[in-house]
Amino acid sequence: MADLLPDQLRLMAAALPDEVAYTDVAADRDLTFRGWESRSNRLARWFVAQGVARGDRVAIHVPPEEGEAFLLTYSAVHKAGAVAVPTSTRMVSAELARVLAHAGAVVAVTGTATLPDLAAARPGLPQLRTVVTTAPGAASQGLVAWDHATDADDSAFQVPVGGDDMADLMYTSGTTGRPKGVVVRHRNVAMVPNGLPRWRRRGWLHASPMFTFAGLASAYNPMKLGMPLLYLPRFDVDRWFDVVEARRPAATFLVPAMAELLVASPRFEAADLSSLTMCSLGSAPVAPGTVARLRARLPGALVSNSWGMTEAGPAFCFMPPEEQGRRIGSVGRPVPPTEFRIVDAAGDALPSRGIGQLVVRNPGREREYFRDEAATAGTWRDGWLHTGDLAYLDEDGFLYIVGREKDVIIRGGHNVHATDVEAVLYEHSGVQEAAVAGVAHPVLGEDVGAWVVRSPGSAVTADDLRAFCAERLSDYKVPRAVTFLAALPRNATGKVLKRDLPGRGGLPA
């Protein structure tokens, strides 16, 4: 049988049963390894008794505030030999119905806040036999109450599965189109191998939704590194600082949107962040200036900006601490067996510093799209994943992400990379957040547009920002159209939805 994610939980429960494995820091609620193991065993047995078979898909549609229910369900699904389908809680019922119909989910577990959308989607899902919910009054609605989805036997339980069996079905965030289901098999589900670590009790602070790729990694990776998971269900700048100062975590994960808000906060310079020895950033490109400010504030910590995508799975890159100051803007080098190449439109490899599409090879750990052979064939070619990311490699093989292929603005024949302009805007003290994209232009085809969230108390104007950019960028890269917003439109993973930026003039996402 394959090395499974629940094997790590079984290992921890046997060695450290009474240690706290997970804390919801908003509710101040703890879950020990013993509790996590026994309760997920009971739920796994209940799934099997309800007819959930090996390979069946089980949806997990649970709001952030109910992280404990998410973790217990996620472990129980794998113990039952089934496939976990985490779904975004930001989807409306029509989107949710499409995803669950495509997945063929036979059971769904949902929370109180997420039940209405799931209930609205259910009539069009004949395969969905059972819905378990934490919401009150479940029985009167023909649903199963969370407390009733259990078995008397809490001893170790595992339906045998192999490495090629599906573990998860992850739906992409859909920033440019409808989500696709990425098949994750047991042989490529984990980035960190199982093992019994030296237990340190100092936690890993995480605030990304659990249904995301980064969120799922937080379920088992902290315990593999000897840390309990400290979960902040909804990111809030002041709450994040409060938790760091009170609970003294050793590590944290931030998406770039969180990092930008933290460095823009008046608390950033004075907060006690001395407990942090690791700060990982990921899920989207981040401005080099933001990384530099974090590194300056956390001189004793490894501050790394990583690259990843659901399709790439356990492909991983690493930035050695001694290289941080020399490779500003890099996300590191690939960790074997992962390989990176940069190719042009014809698929030919480019030399060092040549900007092209990043393609990734991860031998033996490749993924594919569920029930979509055409999309799979178009994305994975000759063993290489075509990421759609524009990037370059330096002479030593360090990777620099420039942006998405669709983030290139062609202004009168000149290529403008949106991330170059965004990085400059973030250098302005009056800018808290910024996004750059093309806007329709009758002569040039596209012009450069910027959407900006001002820093608290800032009165920066469009002319101020254009003048600031003109001192740092070629004239054709300076944004002509500047729109001020209260907040940038983002999906649940923190990525900006550029298709939803107002005033783009009908340009594609």
- pTM for this structure? 0.85
CATH architecture of 412-500: 2-Layer Sandwich (3.30)
pLDDT of residue 28: 96
When pLDDT is cut at 50, 70 and 90, the band that residue 174 belongs to is low
Whether residue 176 is predicted with pLDDT greater than 50 in this model: the reply is no
CATH annotation of 5-188: 3.40.50.12780
Whether residue 173 is predicted with pLDDT greater than 70 in this model: the reply is no
pLDDT in tens, 240-260: 999 999 999 999 999 888 898
Q: What whole-number distance in Å separates Cα of residue 370 and Cα of residue 258?
A: 31
pLDDT in tens, 129-163: 999 999 999 988 899 999 999 999 999 999 999 99
**Token representation of residue 409:** 């603005």
Mean pLDDT of 30-40: 98
When pLDDT is cut at 50, 70 and 90, the band that residue 475 belongs to is confident
pLDDT in tens, 46-89: 999 999 999 999 999 999 999 999 999 999 999 999 999 999 99
* Contact (CB, 8 A) for 182 and 169: yes
- Let me know if 429 is exposed, middle or buried by CB neighbors in 10 A (0-12, 13-18, 19+): exposed
Domain with CATH 3.30.300.30 in the chain: 412-500
What average pLDDT does the chain have? 91
Q: What whole-number distance in Å separates Cα of residue 60 and Cα of residue 187?
A: 22
Domain with CATH 3.40.50.12780 in the chain: 5-188
DSSP state of 478: S
pLDDT in tens, 107-121: 999 999 999 999 999
**Percentages of the chain per state (helix, strand, coil), in multiples of 5:** 30, 25, 45
pLDDT of residue 507: 55
Positive/negative CA dihedral, 71, 72, 76, 77? negative
pLDDT in tens, 417-459: 888 899 899 999 999 999 999 998 887 888 999 999 999 999 9
DSSP state of 191: S
Q: What whole-number distance in Å separates Cα of residue 201 and Cα of residue 251?
A: 11
Q: What whole-number distance in Å separates Cα of residue 9 and Cα of residue 198?
A: 15
Compute the residue count for the chain.
509
Distances (CA, A) of 491 to 73, 202, 293, 345: 24, 30, 25, 29
Distances (CA, A) of 235 to 26, 38, 144, 317, 488: 10, 30, 31, 26, 15
SS3 of 92, please? coil
Higher pLDDT, 291 or 19: 19
Mean pLDDT of 192-212: 94
CA-closest candidate to residue 394, choices 345, 438, 342, 460: 342
The DSSP-derived string for 433-459 is: EEEEEEEEETTTEEEEEEEEEEPTT--
Q: What whole-number distance in Å separates Cα of residue 190 and Cα of residue 356?
A: 29
| Fold observed for domain 333-405 | Luciferase; domain 3 (2.30.38)
Domain with CATH 2.30.38.10 in the chain: 333-405
DSSP state of 480: S
